[in-house]
């Protein structure tokens, strides 16, 4: 927590007083994590190549035409999520109050899912297939984390269990003990949805960046008593520190995108996708904006729904609705270039972020 040391220097020069402000530290955290991710990726991507830590692409029998499009990706290093998480953690040490319970909770959740994702990536490398760890194993880990966080907030923190509804400021749902289950559903759903979206160069990490910025703003407003009362939203003391955390996530996302944009030099793998997706879900819970995750993260929602619809319809009618799911692969097979799909999804993600912020007044 370097900023606390710098803040104490205000007795020698008043200028150091600026380090108490969340907004300044958020900017510094974003810049720090961005530069760190650039440097770490630059130095460690060759390491991944040297030890043959490369992506595993599903074979032609599973994906058909898509195999011809993606077969070259199996030579690209994976597990780059380690670089993202490392950049965020180091940035936290510099600019975030690590004694803040919401920061600690989010960090622990991110690391837990990072380890779970790392195990999945490791199993893919070990057995040289795209399936990795058993789906039940990953799901059980996500559920345990969700139950632990939900229980901690409910029993230890005396956290508000009221659910806010976007656009309807007068309608509130007190969840009571069901809050624990709800928290689990949010974390599991967001973690898996981002993981499903991570199929094209730069797609998932770019969308994560936009979501992080949006929730950074929401964290600041929710943790500021005047803004919270003015906007008639829940006030959560101390949660504004997550603004700095979100900025660190945004910076690391941009730094990683530098190497992950088309054509990618590295993939984040499940190490990054599961952890960042779950982290977004945790933050949504802590700032009391869980349902807004459906709006700002609609890209992830649509990707996940396309898989569920495809599987359900095939079991019912023995036919497919999409050429392939998740839906970004459907567009690929129809002939859209990969870079065009990614950029268009980014554009939609930006619009969704603006719409999410607009809901604060459209109530």
Average pLDDT over residues 239-253: 98
Tokens of 356: 């999410």
Average pLDDT over residues 80-101: 96
* Cut 0.85: pTM above it: yes
Question: Domain spans of the chain?
Answer: 2-358
Backbone φ and ψ of 135, nearest 5°: -60, -35
Tokens of 5: 């040391």
Classified as helix, coil or strand, 163 is strand
Nearest-Å Rg of the Cα atoms of the chain is 20
Average pLDDT over residues 118-127: 89
What contacts 85, CB < 8 A, 6 or more positions away?
Answer: 110, 111, 114, 252, 271, 272, 275
Average pLDDT over the chain, rounded to whole?
Answer: 91
Lowest mean pLDDT among 60-64, 86-90, 254-258: 60-64
For the chain, counts of helices (H) and of strands (E): 16, 2
Classified as helix, coil or strand, 200 is coil
Quick: pLDDT tens for 36-85: 999 999 999 999 999 888 877 655 444 556 656 666 677 899 999 999 99
Residue 168 pLDDT exceeds 80: no
Quick: pLDDT tens for 214-236: 999 999 999 999 999 999 899 99
CA distance 139 to 192: 9
DSSP string spanning 68-102? HHHGGGGGSB--THHHHHHHHHHHHHHHS-TT-HH
Q: What DSSP character marks residue 261?
A: S
Work out the end-to-end distance of the chain between its first and last CA atoms, rounded to an integer number of angstroms: 38
pLDDT at residue 160, rounded to an integer: 92
């Amino acid at each position: 927590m370097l900023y606390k040391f710098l803040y104490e220097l205000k007795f020698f020069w008043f200028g150091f007083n600026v380090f108490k402000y969340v907004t300044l530290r958020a900017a510094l955290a974003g810049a720090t994590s961005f530069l760190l991710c650039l440097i770490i990726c630059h130095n460690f991507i060759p390491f991944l190549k040297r030890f043959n830590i490369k992506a595993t692409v599903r074979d032609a029998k599973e994906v058909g035409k898509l195999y011809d499009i993606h077969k070259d990706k199996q030579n690209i290093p994976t597990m780059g999520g380690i670089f993202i998480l490392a950049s965020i953690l180091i940035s936290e040490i510099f600019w975030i109050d690590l004694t803040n319970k919401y920061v600690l909770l989010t960090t622990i959740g991110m690391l837990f899912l990072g380890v779970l994702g790392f195990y999945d990536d490791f199993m893919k490398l070990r057995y040289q297939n795209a399936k990795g760890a058993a789906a039940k194993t990953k799901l059980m880990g996500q559920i345990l984390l969700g139950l632990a966080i939900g229980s901690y907030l409910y029993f230890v923190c005396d956290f508000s269990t009221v659910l806010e509804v976007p656009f309807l400021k007068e309608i509130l749902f007190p969840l009571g003990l069901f809050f624990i289950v709800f928290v689990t559903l949010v974390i599991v759903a967001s973690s898996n949805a981002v993981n499903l979206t991570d199929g094209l160069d730069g797609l998932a990490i770019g969308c994560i960046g936009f979501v992080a910025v949006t929730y950074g703003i929401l964290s600041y407003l929710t943790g500021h008593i005047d803004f919270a009362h003015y906007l008639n939203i829940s006030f959560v003391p101390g949660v504004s520190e997550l603004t700095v955390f979100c900025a660190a996530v945004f910076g690391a996302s941009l730094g990683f995108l530098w190497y992950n944009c088309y054509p990618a030099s590295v993939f984040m793998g499940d190490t990054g996708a599961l952890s960042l997706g779950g982290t977004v879900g945790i933050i949504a819970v802590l700032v009391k904006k869980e349902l807004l995750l459906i709006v700002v993260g609609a890209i992830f929602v649509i990707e996940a729904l396309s898989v569920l619809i495809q599987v359900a319809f095939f079991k019912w009618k023995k036919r497919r609705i999409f050429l392939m799911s998740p839906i970004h692969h459907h567009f690929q097979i129809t002939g859209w270039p990969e870079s065009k799909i990614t950029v268009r999804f980014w554009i939609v993600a930006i619009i969704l972020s603006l719409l999410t912020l607009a809901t604060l007044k459209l109530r």
